[in-house]
């Protein structure tokens, strides 16, 4: 299992690869800040992310 850290808020996810029988285009988004964690296009390999560490303090305030 791979770890991925959201580039926007710093929350940590464990990423799991799954295989679909059909090609699909989709994304996995950060549940904290909606940043795209993983995206794929017309692929039978998809991903699921499980939130491990929620880090909202790293969010930058809007200017
Ligand atoms: Zn995030």
For residues 42 and 61, give the distance between their C-alpha atoms in angstroms, rounded to a whole number: 35
Answer whether residue 56 shows pLDDT above 70.
Answer: yes
What's the pLDDT tens digit per position in 12-45?
999 999 999 999 999 999 999 999 999 999 999 9
Report residue 48's pLDDT band, with 50, 70 and 90 as the boundaries: very high
CA of 19 to the centre of ligand 1 (A): 25
Contact 25, 40 (CB under 8 A): yes
CA of 27 to the centre of ligand 1 (A): 14
Ranges of each domain in the chain = 2-53
Answer whether residue 57 shows pLDDT above 80.
Answer: no
- What is the model's pLDDT at position 36? 97
Task: List, as one string, the DSSP characters of 1-49.
Answer: -EEEE-TTT--EEEEEEEEEEEEEEEEEE-TTT--EEEEEEEEEEEEEE
């Amino acid at each position: 299992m791979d770890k991925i850290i959201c580039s926007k808020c710093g929350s940590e996810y464990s990423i799991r690869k799954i295989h679909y029988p059909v090609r699909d285009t989709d994304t996995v988004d950060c549940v904290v800040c909606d940043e795209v964690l993983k995206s794929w296009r017309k692929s039978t390999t998809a991903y699921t992310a499980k939130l491990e560490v929620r880090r909202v303090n790293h969010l930058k305030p809007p200017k």
